[in-house]
Amino acid sequence: MPLKIVQNFDGNFTLEPQAQETLFQLLKSETFVKQICQHLQCEKVEFTELLFQPVPYSLATPKGMPAILEKYYESDEYAIINVPPNFMFSAKIFSPSRLCAIYRKIGCTNSG
């Protein structure tokens, strides 16, 4: 089975205001933020309120994300996480089926 490279993929999406509000509350919840801090070995993380839909690999999107956001991928000051499916369900977001969130790291003991 040959590998098919996608030339263009529209990763744009719009969330309903209520769905976005619910999702942001979940992504900023103390319990979830503590889990991220523990995993990243950081004193604190801040949700940047930036979300994106993962996109297929293409020549224009080799990192699987919109090219405009690659600066966050390449920076040690930020972490990109997959939004948990249960958060998507709780916020009643069914399209897109996957989202990633960008967090700013503060006071980390490592760069990972």
Q: Give 31-83 pLDDT, tens digit per residue.
A: 999 999 999 999 999 999 999 998 887 777 788 888 889 999 999 999 999 99
Strand order in the sheet with 42-52: 42-52, 100-108, 78-82
pLDDT at 22 (0 to 100): 96
Predicted model pTM: 0.84
Q: Determine whether 70 is exposed, middle or buried from the number of CB atoms within 10 Å of its CB (0-12, 13-18, 19+).
A: middle
Q: Is the per-residue pLDDT at 111 higher than 90?
A: no
